[in-house]
Structure 1
């Protein structure tokens, strides 16, 4: 009877873990769509084996063990996801990009902040951090996320992996060392009101195509990358050369606000040649540090991303920047 009651209580609580599991699987896999699939598979496996849950471990640890195994299975045959700067050096802004690469190559954006509570996660869901995680072997990746992001104890992680505490601690130390050598994450400004002002200034400047204002907002070594193209640029001169050269078609765009990976984001819509409206062009994720922009990632897969971010599929001709149609 006790086991049955434990199983019944566990079954009722499984769905409550969906949001935080999505954040975990997203960090593991680097793709929000794959994370959602992994969470669904996790919950299905949990439901099927709920009668074997004996209550000797916490339900959270038990369901994370299942999620970890699901992610490890997915990663066994997958290539490492990345951002363009992980694959090559920066290019000149005047250069036209090579043909796009498959979507499976790239780390993708996550709508909103952390699915559970952005205020408690710092930069652990930002694009640069997600990309850095992909350099870790899958078990080390899981160990670091569980310990440093989700707050699991060394004993809990050891039990989850079926290893010793010493082994779990060793994996964590190796993961931290690797991540420290690669990590180039800068969190947003501590003052949320400042970040909102900067985001509004950026949206207005981009819509006016005001290069002088954009240059004032960009840090001197800011980056702009363009997945699914491998091309990326560093520094104000090359970013400006790109915007006024190969990307001049962005002149007259409208930006609609969103949030991605805990950072301000915008759906970018380019004007139709006949002046009848605007069509999706890119999802821009903009990262700030202090009083300026440190990075812009413009994802071109609008057919998949705009519905995910609840962005409209077209804007009317008179739509202003910052307003939804």
Structure 2
């Protein structure tokens, strides 16, 4: 950033403003996604952040870096979104069959996976000495999901301190609170993450795209598409979870998951399933399509995200949000073949 560019932006030069914020646009989007857990909400809040920065540029006195100033705006916009009683929540889908009683229900129905290609471009630049999470750990779905269960200020404080590595005094300034309050909030946030199963490293998790992960992913695809419930359940850990946002239903353990899959498979009957491999949040994933009997093309039936652990599956997330296929650049119908790996679009402009 040059003083000349900053001064021209302050006088209303939109091109100068774009040059100022462009180096930070993508990491701000990832920051919003971490805290909000929703691609849709992250896009909306990013645009609000950039608009607020444009309108408030005269208030940037240079006492902190421009990047820190932008993170302050983005974080507070995220907090506003989380506090908003009218925050958009996706409607619960109505299944075409009567599912068995779930093990539990969750209120975090807005959670969405993010395309790997977007998260690979993270530029959390040289996080400070307070950072505890690597860039990869901080975008894993379990971590993002656990953040959604924290109080808004707890989630924001933990991301600013443990992911981005801002010092306590800096976080206090960004959140307009005291250093003592930040320390207490951070302690509660870390305890909350442990309660909801987010850890710094997952023991026995195969490296991304390793032979072990590819073999497990292949076996899941074969058993899932063929309707082999017993074969699929054999791939699960004893405490595996099946979740289906935006439906609140959560099934835990092979018995409960088998009950759901058996009902689904009976309903599916002659309908065919097809899976297109993708990656989401550092995990293997699939775009799922369902083809009606006699039809030649399949329609979208959700995004499946797998969480491997020690050669088995610890979690299967079946995300049923209507707009996810566009984010992953998946075809709307399987009659249209897509050659090669599917690349995601850049973060929204």
Instruction: Name the TM-score, length of structure 1 as normaliser.
Output: 0.82
1:315 corresponds to 2:331? no
Unaligned runs of 5+ in 2: 10-15, 90-97, 124-132, 343-349
1:214 aligns with 2:214: no
1:75 positional shift: 1.7
Deviations 1:254-307 (CA, angstroms, capped at 9, x unpaired): 101122222111111112211422221121111111211111111222x31111
Q: d(CA) in 1 for partners of 2:341 and 2:228?
A: 20
Pairing 1:1-325 to 2, within 5 Å after superposition: 6-7=6-7, 11=17, 12-78=19-85, 95-96=99-100, 105-112=109-116, 114=119, 116-117=121-122, 120-184=134-198, 187=202, 189-192=205-208, 193=210, 194-248=212-266, 249=268, 252-301=272-321, 303-316=322-335
**1:145: Cα distance to partner?**
0.6
Tell me the secondary structure at the aligned position of residue 136 of structure 1: coil
1:64-119 superposed Cα distances (whole Å, 9 cap, x missing partner) = 1111121122122247999xxxxxxxxxxx84469xx9x98432222226364399
Matched residue pairs, number?
307
Q: Aligned partners of 1:133, 1:25: CA distance in 2, in Å?
A: 12
- 8 Å CA contact 1:81, 1:104 repeated in 2: no
Q: 1:35 to 1:136 in 2, by over 3 A?
A: same
Is the CA contact (8 Å cut-off) linking 1:256 and 1:323 kept in structure 2? no
- Give the CA deviation at 1:312: 0.8
Select between 24-33 and 210-219 the one with higher mean Cα deviation.
210-219
Root-mean-square deviation (CA), in Å? 3.4
1:88 is matched with none
Rounded to whole Å, the distance in 2 between the matches of 1:213 and 1:323 is 28
Asked whether the 8 Å contact 2:206–2:308 carries over to 1, the reply is: no
Contact 1:259 1:266 in 2 (8 A): yes
TM-score normalised by structure 2 residue count: 0.76
Indicate if the aligned counterparts of 1:45 and 1:66 stay in contact, CA closer than 8 A: yes
Measure the CA separation in 1 of the matches of 2:242 and 2:198. 15
Residue of structure 2 in register with 1:86 after alignment: none
Q: 1:39-63 CA distances to partner (integer Å, 9 max, x unpaired)?
A: 1111111122223323221111100
Note the alpha carbon deviations across 1:172-213, whole angstroms, 9 max, x for none.
112212222233557482422122332233223322333444
Q: Whole-Å Cα distance in 2 between the matches of residues 136 and 221 of structure 1?
A: 23
The structure whose residues are more often helix, as a share, is 1
1:161 CA drift (Å): 1.7
**Structure 1 position 25, deviation (Å):** 0.9
* Superimposed CA distance per residue, residues 119-169 of structure 1 (whole angstroms, 9 cap, x where no aligned partner): 942432233322321232222211101111111111221221223323322
DSSP-derived class of the 1:57 partner? coil
- Where does structure 1 lack aligned partners over 5 or more consecutive residues? 83-93
